């Protein structure tokens, strides 16, 4: 799911998102940290459980149109059964200029949160920086105002709360929407943060320069100038300059051979160079301590799958099918490689038994991903978790990531990118 800024210069006023399709079960709350925090804050502000239950069902019904998120406002057309849709709007207080300055000032004092923001992530601990500044990022009581032109007597109505739940789904994909609805899109927020850092650096430099100047002046008053006339440096500079030796002759130009010097076409040679560079990068990352383990060399099958998955020339996979001895397996193996490299291929081909503690944690996540009366039966086979009757499966990799799979004509195929959180991987499968 993606949205576009209405302006291209970073000062956009709104982002639009396509309507969510109907969901058959699953949690209505967002699965990510920010999505869950938004939904939890909304439920705390409007705790009527009967209305919340209706709103969760309505959010999954597919009857809410495209969602528009703009500073201080979230809006959508809602189809409640009548011919004419009703307009549902949630308004949220925007932060002022002083509020943003204070927030970024507090954030600049937190190295971990600062590094995450500059890397394009919205860290959960930013909430603490906002609280330190006396600001609220998540909606609080009286802060999030609903407005819907339906005839339901509840306030807020189920339409408004359902829209709020869908906002938590949007935050699963892009948590920076929380800053947008408070008045800053991602580009503006990062620019403000960088300006704060620059101002702090300039202030610190001015203070250090003043201190250095005072120290130098004191040294000049207290230390006499040394006599350097007899030093080796002074004697060297006193010598008469001599002429430089002539430049050597230029070498003869190299003759370009008529054909490839290696006897190979350029295409495989470029592939070999790219492979060597990738392996060198792995070795360097291990040497410098960025990775804890050195990836083992690939065997013949793994290397065949890697080439089939990464080579841009469509003729290459066909050549590999003809020569690898396992043509019926190659396409699925290449799809697995594209999701997670060697780890993704291992998840496809090998079943294993995770530690009991990890299995218990996964069971808790699966149970929390559904409403109490809608949870499907889950069949667990080692690291493979299959939702009975739904044709979807999650596989836990040895790299602690969860890989989504989908049943296609009785064969399990990789169905998307892996996630460190099983709830997010499951939500992606359900949306698909």
At 327 the pLDDT is: 85
User: For 47, how many CA atoms within 13 A lie in the half-sphere containing its CB?
Assistant: 4
Identify which has the larger pLDDT, 273 or 79: 79
The residue among 361 and 266 whose pLDDT is bigger is 361
**Lowest-confidence range among 118-127, 199-208, 309-318?**
199-208
214 compared with 272, residue with greater pLDDT: 272
The reported pLDDT for the residue numbered 293 is 72
What is the C-alpha to C-alpha distance for residues 195 and 185, in angstroms, rounded to an integer? Answer: 15
Average pLDDT rounded to a whole number, residues 196-208? 71
What whole-number percentage of the chain has pLDDT above 90? Answer: 26
Considering the chain, what percentage of its residues have pLDDT values greater than 70? 81
pTM attached to this predicted model:
0.53
CA distance 75 to 127: 25
Q: Give the chain's length.
A: 432
User: Is the torsion defined by CA of 236, 239, 245, 247 positive or negative?
Assistant: positive
Angle (deg, nearest 10), helices 158-173 and 33-45 = 160
Average pLDDT over residues 87-97: 92
- In this prediction, residue 26 carries a pLDDT of 73
The predicted-structure confidence for 298-325, as pLDDT tens digits, reads as follows 888 998 898 888 877 777 778 888 888 8
Kindly report which listed range (61-75, 139-153, 218-232, 370-384) carries the lowest average pLDDT score.
218-232
Q: Could you report the per-residue pLDDT of 384-406, keeping only the tens digit for each?
A: 999 888 889 999 998 888 999 99
Q: How many CB atoms sit inside 10 A of residue 230's CB?
A: 7
Q: Is the pLDDT of residue 263 over 50?
A: no
DSSP-derived 3-state class of residue 71:
coil
Quote the Cα angle for 386-389-394, to 5°. Answer: 20
Cis amide linkage into residue 156, ω under 30° from 0: yes
Give the model confidence (pLDDT) of 7-65 as tens digits: 333 445 789 999 888 887 777 888 899 999 999 999 998 888 889 988 988 898 888 98
The mean of the pLDDT values for the chain is: 81
Q: Where is pLDDT greater, at 271 or 255?
A: 271
What are the angstrom distances between the C-alpha of 189 and each of 120, 182, 192, 194, 257? 11, 11, 5, 9, 56
């Amino acid at each position: 799911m993606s949205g576009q800024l209405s302006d291209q210069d970073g000062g956009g006023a709104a982002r639009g998102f396509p309507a969510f399709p109907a969901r058959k079960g699953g949690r209505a709350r967002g699965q990510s940290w920010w999505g869950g925090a938004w939904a939890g804050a909304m439920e705390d502000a409007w705790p009527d459980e009967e209305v919340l239950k209706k709103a969760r069902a309505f959010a999954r019904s597919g009857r809410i149109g495209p969602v528009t998120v703009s500073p201080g406002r979230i809006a959508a057309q809602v189809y409640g059964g009548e011919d004419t849709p009703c307009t549902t709007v949630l308004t949220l207080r925007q932060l002022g200029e002083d509020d943003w300055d204070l927030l970024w000032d507090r954030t600049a004092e937190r190295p971990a949160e600062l590094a995450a923001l500059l890397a394009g992530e919205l860290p959960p601990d930013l909430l603490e920086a906002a609280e330190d500044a006396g600001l609220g990022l998540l909606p609080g009581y009286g802060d999030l105002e609903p407005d819907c032109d339906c005839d339901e007597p509840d306030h807020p109505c189920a339409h408004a709360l359902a829209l709020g739940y869908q906002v938590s789904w949007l935050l699963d994909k892009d948590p920076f929407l929380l800053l947008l609805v408070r008045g800053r899109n991602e580009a503006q927020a990062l620019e403000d943060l960088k300006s704060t850092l620059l101002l702090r650096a300039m202030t610190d430099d001015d203070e250090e320069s003043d201190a250095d100047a005072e120290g130098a002046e004191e040294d000049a008053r207290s230390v006499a100038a040394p006599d350097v006339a007899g030093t080796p440096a002074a004697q060297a500079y006193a010598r008469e300059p001599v002429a430089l030796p002539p430049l050597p002759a230029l070498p003869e130009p190299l003759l370009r051979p008529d054909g490839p010097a290696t006897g190979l076409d350029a295409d495989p040679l470029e592939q070999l160079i790219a492979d060597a560079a990738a392996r060198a990068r792995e070795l360097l990352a291990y040497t410098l301590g960025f990775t804890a383990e050195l990836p083992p060399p690939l065997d013949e099958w793994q290397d065949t799958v890697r080439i089939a998955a990464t080579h841009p020339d469509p003729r290459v996979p066909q050549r590999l099918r003809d020569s690898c001895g396992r043509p019926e397996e190659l396409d699925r193996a290449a799809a697995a490689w594209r999701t997670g490299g060697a780890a993704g291929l291992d998840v496809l081909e090998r079943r294993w038994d995770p530690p009991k503690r990890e299995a218990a944690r996964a069971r808790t996540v699966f149970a929390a991903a559904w409403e109490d009366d809608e949870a499907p039966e889950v069949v667990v086979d080692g690291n493979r978790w299959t939702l009975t009757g739904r044709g979807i499966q999650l596989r836990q990799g040895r790299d602690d990531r969860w890989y989504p799979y989908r049943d296609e004509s009785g064969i399990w195929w990789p169905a998307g990118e892996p996630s460190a959180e099983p709830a997010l991987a499951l939500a992606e499968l359900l949306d698909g």
